[in-house]
Structure 1
Amino acid sequence: MITFRDRGARGRLKGSTLDAFYSFSFGDYRDPKNMGFRALRVLNEDFVIPGAGFSEHGHADMEIVTIVLAGAIAHRDDLGNEALIRAGDVQRMSAGTGIRHSEMNPSLEERAHALQLWIIPRSAGGDPSYEQKHFAEEAGRNQWVLVASLDGEGASLTLRQDARLEIARLDEGALLSRALSPDRGYWVQVMGGIIGLNGTEMREGDGAAITAEAILTIEAETRAEVLLIDLP
């Protein structure tokens, strides 16, 4: 079964410094029918104007993954980490027992564009931690590249949950297929371009929840970038 989440049906917060789209309930946006998908609790798409962002705030008991699609995000936390997350970078922050951080667009000219995911960990608590890696565009050209997993498989980021995050950057006309496990759930998010997912067109911002399907087939109708989240 495939349940599509149209980009236009998402929650939205449009302010003077931020234009954010929420696939699931978040903040003041409440939708009882969209409270998350399996261990995936939050999937936000953020557009941040130059010089703006999220001032210091706290989290606990959540795996937070940020994928920068354009521009950059400056990260600072109370563990002493300071980093610039650029397009092609993926950041993982395990909030554990508690962490405080800020995320700002350091540019005075360029808007930042990023996805942020919150994944519920296997168990609460644990020491907070931070990790960031760059995944070169050509490494994911017309194939799936693992960017996060439970055990850090294949030099991916580590997660405190049995989940796998994979990114594919597709040329126009490229075709990708992937066998699916019947006891897992899968979320597909189109990060850029236009694709066909098992024959149904999806565009940037569209998502889809997949269960009880044997195979996933993606055909790129334009150059495209796709995120696949494999969940217990």
Structure 2
Amino acid sequence: MADVFHDRHARGRTRTGWLNAHHTFSFGSFNDPTRMGFRALRVINEDVITGGSWFPEHAHDHFDILTFMLAGTLAHSDSAGHRGLLHAGDVQCISAGSGIRHTERNPSPDMPTHLFQIWLHADADKAPPRYQLLRGALDPGSPEPRLIADPGEQDDALRLRAPVRIWASRAGPGTQCAHALAPGRFGWLQLLEGVVEVDAQAQATALELRGGDALQLSTVRHLTLRPTTAAAWLWFDLP
């Protein structure tokens, strides 16, 4: 399994009167049999939702569904009675388990909502659905990566049913950040916004990533990131 650069311009697209979405993997009407996910990752969508618009109520099961808020607000409600109002920097996790119905709405009449939604294959299909909201997770206050999701009990982190760990970073020019993988693990680097230069183990030259770009790692064990603008990204440690 090779290391792969996922260019933001190669993503699928859904554009309606209220939604502008980009799909890293096959989703909805975008169907590419070569892009069905990576390891536990199944869906990576970048969505911009116009003011006053919403996703109608729909059903999920099996997946851990994470929403990473970049701008605007989002109101959540579901069939298990959970309610949440998300703001920029927040991360929401719906562990769908045996099944749940939910709807998401942009409550602002005129301001768009910008988010990434990412689905992970989970390991508790017979468990009841679970809802979690982690405030300010995408604004760690330090260039050091912050652990925001883990399959175990961790302070100030979402608990996943998928065997995946997720870190969030936000940094600017003049800083440097490193990520490493243990033997037998796989990595995914998802740039949310901004521009970074990435030095990968055994790579001759740095690779520039911009918001929406990603790196899929199977053999590379170590990355060094140097933002050239204010930037935010996610690092996934995958089985």
TM-score clears 0.5:
yes
Contact 2:88 2:136 in 1 (8 A): no
Q: Percent identity?
A: 39
Shift of 1:75: 0.2
Which secondary structure does the structure 2 equivalent of 1:153 belong to?
A: coil
Q: Give the distance between the partners of 1:154 and 1:133, measured in 2 at CA.
A: 11
- Structure 1 gaps of 5+ residues are none
The amino acid of 1:77's aligned partner reads D
2:150 corresponds to which residue?
149
The one of 220, 226, 232 equivalent to 2:233 is: 226
Structure 2 CA distance for aligned equivalents of residues 214 and 96 of structure 1: 32
Deviation for aligned residue 1:3? 0.8
Structure 2 regions of 5+ residues with no counterpart? Answer: 200-205
Q: 1:205 aligns with which of 203, 209, 212?
A: 212
Does 139-148 or 37-46 show the bigger shift? 139-148
The offset of 1:137, in angstroms, is 5.8
Q: Note closer, same or farther for the CA distance 1:58–1:50 as it changes in structure 2 (3 Å cut).
A: same
Instruction: Note the 1:167-178 alignment, pairs <5 A.
Output: 167-178=168-179
2-side partners of 1:71 and 1:192: how far apart?
15
Larger mean CA deviation between 118-127 and 85-94 belongs to 118-127
Cα distance in 1, alignment partners of residues 231 and 115 from structure 2: 16
- How many residues are matched? 232
Q: Partner amino acid for 1:17?
A: W
Number of the residue aligned with 1:39: 40
Equivalent residue runs for 1:46-125 within 5 Å: 46-125=47-126
TM-score (structure 1 length as normaliser): 0.96
Which contiguous aligned blocks of 4+ residues in structure 1 show a shift greater than 6 angstroms?
Answer: none
> Could you give the per-residue CA deviations for residues 8-42 of structure 1, whole angstroms, max 9, x where no partner exists?
00000011100000000011111111100100000
**Please, what TM-score do these two structures have when normalized by structure 2?**
0.94
2: CA distance, partners of 1:137 / 1:216: 20
